[in-house]
Amino acid sequence: MNERQKVLLKEIVESYIQDARPVGSKALVDKLKCSSATIRNEMSALEDLGFLEKTHTSSGRVPSKEGYKYYVDNIMQPRELNGEEMLKLQTIFSNNELVLSDAIKECLEIISEITNYTSVVLGKESEHNTLKQLQIIPIDERKVVALVVASNGHVENKQVFIPEDVDAREIVKTSEIINKHLVGTPISEVPSKLEFEIKPRLSSIIKEYESVYNMFQSVFNDFAEKNSDVFFGGRTNILKQPEFDEIDKVKNIMEKLEDYELVKRIESNEDGVNIYIGDENEFDKDVTVVKTSYKANGEEGTIAIIGPTRMEYDKVVTLLNFLKSQIER
């Protein structure tokens, strides 16, 4: 590829990323300082090389997946973050009240807002993240707050209504049994142990044990979900992109985002920020997955951005590099 073709590919990729419209030769005359005929010839050459594609609706060209890959590997320059974006992310990490996992989640929510893509963090499942304490705080005769604390410092509270047929003292008694038998249990195992170890104990000492069990099962299911090793930011953001405006594509991508086993395959152990375009990723041929791994304070995992192949690669790479640097500083 000659230099003029590189400049042309760069202009077409970046123009198409911005407005999702096929690029014609007339739009590039002033930028490239050459004739429309010359540009058409170079576009045709880039098409023959597999870097551009024609569309059915326009005489213009769009980048192919090979074109995006060449752009990422040979042309793209990371984009600088603006002061506001950098400050938002830095402020989260300067909040000493946030544990690392929560800081990462908040940052990914912000990155999803900035980019309009879907973000995901995959934490390593750890047997060291266990139930530390369950506390019941009465509010009134029929209402309590269940406060659940994990060993990694994560705290959740849930307001719970006591069923009419249940004595509030039985709620307290059950919490004491749970603290006695389940403290130290990995968070992911608490719901099943509650069913197979705690429920049988309740049946012999509490009259309405089913109601009490259901109440605590709801509390711990919520807690286990929020402590899950998979967290999304802007899960539906990707649907805002014009590539996903067809019902079948919407259904397909949402089913994949809800398939946790598939999402977990995004996990990365590679150094640096890595880009997987279309068929290069295991998630979906119509998307790009940009991801990086992190290690800090005994925690490790993967952070990733999922978007269309028409992605602002330079911005996403910069955001993930910056986030990784903040996590591992």
Q: How many CB atoms lie within 10 A of CB 167?
A: 13
Cα 241 from Cα 232, distance rounded (Å): 17
Cα 217 from Cα 195, distance rounded (Å): 8
Read off the pLDDT of each residue in 174-189 and give the average, rounded to a whole number. 92
For residue 222, the one-letter residue type is D
Predicted confidence (pLDDT) at residue 287 exceeds the cutoff of 90: yes
User: Do 320 and 290 contact (CB within 8 A), yes or no?
Assistant: yes
Residue with tokens 């309590």: 144
Q: What 3-state class would DSSP assign to 269?
A: coil
Residues 6 or more apart from 288 whose CB is under 8 A from it?
A: 68, 275, 276, 277, 278, 281, 306, 307, 308, 309, 311, 313
Show the tokens assigned to 271: 């150094």
User: Do 285 and 47 contact (CB within 8 A), yes or no?
Assistant: no
What is the DSSP-derived secondary structure letter of residue 73?
I
Cα 10 from Cα 32, distance rounded (Å): 11
**pLDDT of amino acid 221:** 83
Q: Give pTM, 2 decimals.
A: 0.71
Which range among 10-19, 61-70, 244-253 shows the weakest confidence by mean pLDDT?
244-253
Cα angle: 157, vertex 163, 166; to 5 degrees: 105
Q: Which helix (H) or strand (E) holds 284?
A: none
**pLDDT of amino acid 11:** 95
Q: How many CB atoms lie within 10 A of CB 30?
A: 8
23-72 confidence digits (pLDDT tens): 988 888 888 888 989 999 999 999 999 999 987 766 789 999 999 999 99
Read off the pLDDT of each residue in 249-263 and give the average, rounded to a whole number. 86
Residue 123's nearest CA partner among 323, 271, 320, 296 is 296
Number of H helices, E strands in the chain: 13, 10
Determine whether 158 is exposed, middle or buried from the number of CB atoms within 10 Å of its CB (0-12, 13-18, 19+): middle
**pLDDT of amino acid 225:** 67
What is the DSSP-derived secondary structure letter of residue 237?
G
**pLDDT of amino acid 274:** 94
Tell how strand 118-123 and strand 230-233 pair up: antiparallel
pLDDT category at 100 given cuts 50, 70, 90 is: confident
Mean of pLDDT over the chain: 89
Show the tokens assigned to 307: 């978007």
**pLDDT of amino acid 226:** 64
**pLDDT of amino acid 32:** 86
Give the start-end residues of each E strand in the chain: 52-54, 61-63, 118-123, 131-140, 143-150, 155-161, 230-233, 274-277, 287-296, 299-308
Residue 234's nearest CA partner among 323, 105, 104, 116 is 116
**pLDDT of amino acid 319:** 94
pLDDT category at 128 given cuts 50, 70, 90 is: low
Show the tokens assigned to 260: 């946790």
